[in-house]
C-alpha cells in the first residue's frame, strides 16, 4: 500500500497537470482606481480574462457551485457520491443521464482537451486528483471561471459578462447569473447574440434549478424568467489603447496612474479638434500630476484610423522648436550671467558660421530677458546659449534622464542650434523638463504604474531660477480667444511656451500650473511640413482647453510686475564680429527708381572692431550708400578690420512689388 502511494506521489511530481495553459490569459490595463481602460486577447484572438473571485458577485459563485458541483469544497477532485449516482442511473436507464464531473474535472477538460470517451474520463479523474494537490480550492475555482467557454472567442466569466452583458461581473442580476451558468453547457448553440431564443430557454431552465434548490424566491424566479434577454455583443473598452498596449504585461492586470475620467475628457476634446484637421495630422498629449509625477492622461495618438495613427507619438524623437529656451535662460541665471531684467541685443548676429533669425524676421534692439523669453525671440536665446555653451545645456538636460538626440556635427556651433530645436526630444521628455520647473527645478521621471515609487530627483535649475522662469512664462501671450489667468476671477495662471520646428513640421505647446504639466504636439507622423501651422496657432489652443478641464487644488500666485536687473547684469556683453542691421537677410526692398541718380539705401552694420566696409556682389562699395541699378537678388557683405564678415541676401523689387 505504501509502495503504491509512493509511486502515485512520484508520478504526480514527474507528470504534473498542464497548469502552464492556465497562464495564457488576456492582459487587462486599469486606471488608478481599478476601472478598465483596455484589454488584449491572447495569441489566438481569444478573450480570456483572469477571474478575480473578489470582483465577482458572490451570488454567482454560490449558484455555480450549486448547479455544477455542490460538494466542491468537500471532495478531492472526484465526488464519489456523484459517481455512484451516475453509475446507478446508467445501469437503470442504459445510458448516461446524470454526469459526475466536478468543477475540477471540468477544468482539466478545459486545459487538456481530449475525445469524450471512457479512457479520457479515467485520465481526467486522475488529473483532477492531481490538480487538487497543486492548487487550493479558490485557485481551482478561479481557473475554472477563467477558462469556461462561452461561445466564439469568449472564455471566462469576466469576458462573457463584459462582451454579452456590457458590465462588470460584480454587477450581475439574477437573470444574468442564470444565463452565465447556462451558456457553457452548450456555448455555440446558446450564444445570445446569435440564438437568443435558445439562450433564453436555457437561462430559464437554470432559473428553475436555482428555484428548486431554494436559492431563489418564487417572486424572483417569476420576474427573472420573463425578463428580456440581452442579445447584442458589446465592444471591449479601448481607452488609451496604444498607451495601455505599451504598459500591458501578458497575463496580468496592470493598474496604471491614468485617470479614467480625465482620459475620457482629453480623448473627446482631441477628437473634436481632429474633425477640423486634415489627415494625416495627429495630436499627442501627456498630462502629469506635478506632485507625484504620475501621468494622469495620455494620448499616444488621438486617431488610430489616420495614416501613422498607430504610432505612439509621445515617444518619438522630434524637433522641439523653441521649447528649450526657458532652460537656456535658466542655466544662465544659475551661472550668474543674466537675470530676468537683464537686457540683450535683438539684432541680426553671426556666431561663427551660424546666423539665426527671428521667426518673423523682425528685430527689436535692446530687450529684457523676460521679454525675449515670453515672445520667443531667437537671436537673444542663441546669444545667451553662446555664453553658457551648447554642451552645458545638452549635459544638463541629459542628466534629468531624458533621451535627447543631438543633431548637427557635434561642434559647439552646431550646439547653438539647440536653442531653436536643433535636437530630438519626445513629448514625454518635454513633460519631464517642464514639470521640473513646476517642482522648484527638481526633475523626476514620469510614473506610469500606480504603486511604483518616485524616482530620485535631479536638480535642473535652482528653486529661485525656476520661480523666475515661471514668472516670465506666466506672462506669455495667450492664444486667440483666451485671457491670462490673472485677469479672470477663477482663472489659473498658466506658465507656457510654444515651439515650431523647422519647416512647420512640429507644433508644440508645453505648459504648467502649480498642479499640472501638459505637453501638446500637433503634426504629421511622417514628418511632412504643415505650412503656417505654428505652436501658437495649432497647439496652444488645445493646451488651454485641456487646462480648462483640469481640476486645480489652489489658485496660482498673484500676478507680479517684472523687476529690474541688479547692478552688473543690466546688459549682456556684446558679441564680437560684424552684424548687418540693414538690410536684414532675406529682406525684400521696394525701389521706386533705380540708378546712380537715385537717393539709394543706407547700409548699416555694427562691429566691436570699429567701422566696416561694404561689398555688393563682391564689388567694394564707396561708403555706406548703395544705389542698385537693377531689380533682382544681391549679396551684401560687411567686413571689419579683423577680416571677420557678415552677409545678407536681399531682393530689390519694383514699385508694384514685382520683378520685371
Residues annotated as part of the active site: 68, 322
Cell, residue 523 = 503634426
Q: φ, ψ for residue 282 (rounded to 5)? A: -140, 170
Q: Interior CA angle at 654 toward 652 and 660, to 5°?
A: 95
What is d(CA 55, CA 52) in angstroms, rounded to the nearest whole number? 5
Nearest one of 323, 264, 277, 374 to 517, comparing CA atoms: 323
Q: Could you tell me the three cell numbers for 592?
A: 521706386
Residue 560 has phi, psi (to 5 degrees) of -125, 145
Give CA–CA dist 141/576, Å, rounded. 80
Consecutive H or E run containing 638? strand 632-639
CA proximity to 584, closest of 528, 657, 513, 650:
650
Block residue for cell numbers 447569473: 177
650 DSSP β-pair partners: 634
Spatial contact of 137 and 127, defined as CB atoms under 8 Å apart: no
Measured from the Cβ of residue 205, the count of other Cβ atoms closer than 10 Å reads 14
Q: With contact defined as beta carbons under 8 Å apart, do 454 and 351 qualify?
A: no
Q: Is-contact 321 506, C-beta < 8 A?
A: yes
Cell 501658437 belongs to residue = 536
Measured distance CA(327)–CA(442) in Å, rounded = 13
Enter the C-alpha cell of residue 51.
477571474
Q: β-pairing, 27-30 with 36-40?
A: antiparallel
Separation CA 231–CA 229 (nearest Å): 6
Helix (H) or strand (E) run with residue 390 in it: helix 390-398
**Phi-psi group of 512: left, alpha or beta (phi > 0 → left; psi -120 to 50 → alpha; rest → beta):** beta
CB-based burial, 416-439: b 16+ in 10 Å, e otherwise: bbbbbbbbbbbbbbbbbbbbbbbb
- Strands 588-590 and 645-653, by their bridges, are parallel
Please state, in angstroms and rounded to a whole number, the distance separating the CA atoms of residues 295 and 548.
18
Could you give the CA distance from residue 122 to residue 563 in angstroms, rounded to a whole number?
A: 88
Going by C-alpha positions, the residue among 648, 624, 626, 622 that lies closest to residue 637 is 648
Residue with cell 539709394: 600
Amino acid at each position: 500500500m505504501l509502495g503504491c502511494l509512493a509511486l502515485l506521489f512520484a508520478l504526480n511530481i514527474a507528470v504534473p497537470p498542464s497548469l502552464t495553459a492556465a497562464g495564457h490569459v488576456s492582459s487587462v490595463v486599469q486606471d488608478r482606481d481599478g476601472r478598465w481602460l483596455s484589454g488584449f486577447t491572447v495569441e489566438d484572438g481569444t478573450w480570456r480574462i483572469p477571474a478575480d473571485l473578489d470582483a465577482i458577485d458572490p451570488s454567482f459563485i454560490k449558484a455555480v457551485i450549486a448547479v455544477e458541483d455542490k460538494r466542491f469544497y468537500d471532495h478531492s477532485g472526484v465526488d464519489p457520491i456523484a459517481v455512484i449516482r451516475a453509475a446507478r442511473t446508467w445501469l437503470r436507464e442504459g445510458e448516461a443521464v446524470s454526469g459526475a464531473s466536478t468543477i475540477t474535472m471540468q477544468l482539466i477538460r478545459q486545459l487538456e482537451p481530449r475525445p469524450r470517451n471512457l479512457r479520457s474520463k479515467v485520465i481526467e479523474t486522475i488529473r483532477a486528483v492531481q490538480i487538487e494537490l497543486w492548487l487550493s480550492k479558490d485557485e481551482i475555482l478561479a481557473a475554472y471561471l477563467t477558462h469556461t467557454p462561452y461561445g466564439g472567442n469568449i472564455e471566462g466569466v469576466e469576458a462573457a459578462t463584459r462582451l454579452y452583458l456590457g458590465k462588470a461581473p460584480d454587477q450581475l442580476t439574477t437573470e444574468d447569473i442564470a444565463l452565465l451558468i447556462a451558456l457553457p453547457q452548450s456555448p455555440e448553440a446558446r450564444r445570445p447574440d446569435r440564438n437568443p431564443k435558445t439562450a433564453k430557454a436555457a437561462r430559464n431552465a437554470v432559473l428553475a434549478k436555482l428555484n428548486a434548490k431554494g436559492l431563489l424566491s418564487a417572486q424572483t424566479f417569476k420576474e427573472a424568467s420573463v425578463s428580456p434577454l440581452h442579445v447584442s455583443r458589446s465592444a471591449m473598452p479601448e481607452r488609451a489603447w496604444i498607451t495601455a498596449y505599451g504598459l500591458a504585461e501578458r497575463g496580468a492586470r496592470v493598474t496604471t496612474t491614468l485617470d479614467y475620467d480625465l482620459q475620457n475628457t482629453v480623448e473627446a476634446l482631441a477628437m473634436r479638434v481632429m474633425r477640423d484637421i486634415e489627415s494625416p495630422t495627429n495630436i499627442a498629449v501627456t498630462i502629469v500630476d506635478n506632485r507625484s509625477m504620475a501621468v494622469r492622461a495620455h494620448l499616444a495618438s488621438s486617431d488610430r484610423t489616420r495614416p501613422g495613427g498607430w504610432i505612439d507619438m509621445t515617444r518619438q524623437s522630434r524637433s522641439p522648436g523653441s521649447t528649450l529656451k526657458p532652460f537656456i535662460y535658466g542655466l544662465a541665471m544659475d551661472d550668474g550671467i543674466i537675470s530676468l531684467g537683464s537686457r540683450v541685443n535683438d539684432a541680426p548676429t553671426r556666431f561663427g558660421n551660424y546666423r539665426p533669425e527671428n521667426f518673423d524676421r523682425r528685430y527689436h534692439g535692446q530687450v529684457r530677458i523676460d521679454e525675449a523669453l515670453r515672445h520667443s525671440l531667437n537671436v537673444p536665446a542663441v546669444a545667451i546659449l553662446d555664453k553658457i555653451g551648447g554642451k552645458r545645456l545638452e549635459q544638463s538636460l541629459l542628466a534629468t534622464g531624458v533621451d535627447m538626440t543631438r543633431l548637427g556635427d557635434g561642434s559647439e556651433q552646431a550646439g547653438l542650434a539647440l536653442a531653436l530645436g536643433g535636437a530630438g526630444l519626445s513629448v514625454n521628455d518635454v513633460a519631464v523638463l517642464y514639470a521640473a520647473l513646476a517642482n522648484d527645478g527638481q526633475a523626476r521621471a514620469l510614473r506610469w504604474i500606480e504603486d511604483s515609487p518616485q524616482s530620485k530627483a535631479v536638480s535642473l535649475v535652482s528653486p529661485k531660477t525656476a520661480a523666475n522662469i515661471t514668472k516670465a512664462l506666466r506672462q506669455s501671450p495667450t492664444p486667440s480667444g483666451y485671457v491670462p489667468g490673472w485677469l479672470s476671477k477663477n482663472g489659473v495662471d498658466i506658465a507656457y511656451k510654444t515651439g515650431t520646428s523647422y519647416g512647420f513640421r512640429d507644433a508644440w505647446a508645453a505648459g504648467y500650473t502649480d498642479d499640472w504639466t501638459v505637453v501638446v504636439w500637433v503634426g504629421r507622423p511622417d514628418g511632412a511640413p504643415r505650412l503656417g501651422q505654428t505652436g501658437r496657432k495649432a497647439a496652444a489652443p488645445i493646451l488651454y482647453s485641456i487646462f480648462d478641464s483640469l481640476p486645480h487644488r489652489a489658485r496660482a500666485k498673484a500676478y507680479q510686475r517684472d523687476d529690474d536687473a541688479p547692478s552688473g547684469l543690466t546688459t549682456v556683453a556684446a558679441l564680437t564680429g560684424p552684424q548687418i542691421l540693414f538690410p536684414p537677410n532675406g529682406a525684400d526692398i521696394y525701389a521706386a527708381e533705380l540708378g546712380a541718380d537715385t537717393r539709394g539705401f543706407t547700409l548699416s552694420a555694427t562691429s566691436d572692431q570699429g567701422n566696416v566696409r561694404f561689398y555688393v556682389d563682391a564689388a567694394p562699395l564707396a561708403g555706406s550708400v548703395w544705389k542698385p541699378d537693377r531689380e533682382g537678388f544681391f549679396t551684401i557683405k560687411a567686413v571689419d578690420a579683423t577680416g571677420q564678415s557678415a552677409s545678407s541676401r536681399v531682393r530689390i523689387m519694383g514699385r508694384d512689388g514685382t520683378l520685371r
